[in-house]
Structure 1
Amino acid sequence: MARRDLSGAVDFSVLDRMTGGDDAISEEVLDLFVQQAALWSPMLDVRNEGWRDAVHTLRGAGAGIGAGELARLCQTAESSEKAVAPAALDHVRTALEIALSDVAAWRHELMLRGLRG
């Protein structure tokens, strides 16, 4: 994957501003995002008592890297009534998958830049 594989789900200029454009720090932040996604995504089910904690955490993690749509969908799910939350959580899972694909493509680009320079 490389930059051409980006869907636009993540605005990496947000990450660049936060990290000052430092590729090593960007890689570290993206790695933390991937870890958070792996940790919290299994809890995106209303049958799990911690589902609101999961979307809350993913909302902050997504916003921190520039995944605005993911953050917005997490906020919607977090404030949803339990009866309608399953549909909202489906949207969160989809947005998370797309954001993770963009993150993988960006991390690949960071790796290539490291090899070149």
Structure 2
Amino acid sequence: MGAVDFGYLEGFAAGDRKVISEVLALFRQQAEAWAGSLDAADPGWRDVVHTIKGAARGVGANVLGDACADAEAAGPSGLPAVRTALEAAVADIAAYQARS
């Protein structure tokens, strides 16, 4: 399995390809903005991680959601794992969209 469980999202969206496409496009757009805030020097990093966690769980990016939960508990030392998982989720989504 990849970084995103697309079966979860497809089931949640009842297979509506338009909804799935819109949700994934929005996630990718948001990911660009989130990436810049995943820095311990950014005072809002914890809020961003919490937001990413919810969005990740919503699209089936459970590895990213777990990395975010870990970072919330561990503090800034967890941010590299969040960045890595976010990059993997975005890459997986891009590949999925290219196939669709």
Q: Tell me the TM-score normalized by structure 1.
A: 0.81
**Count of matched residue positions in the alignment of Structure 1 and Structure 2:** 100
Partner of 2:32: 38
Q: Deviations along 1:76-102, whole A, 9 cap, x unmatched? A: 111224xxx2x3100110011111110
Matches of 2:9 and 2:15, distance apart in 1: 8
Structure 2 residue 78 is matched with structure 1 residue 88: yes
Partner of 2:16: 22
RMSD: 1.1
Q: Which consecutive unaligned segments of at least 5 residues does structure 2 have? A: none
Partner of 2:45: 51
Partner of 2:72: 78
Which structure has more relative contact order (CA 8 Å, sep 6+)? It is 1
Q: Tell me the TM-score normalized by structure 2.
A: 0.94
% same residue: 46
Structure 2 residue 57 is matched with structure 1 residue 67: no
Q: Which consecutive unaligned segments of at least 5 residues does structure 1 have? A: 1-6, 111-117
**2:74 counterpart SS class:** coil
Partner of 1:13: 7
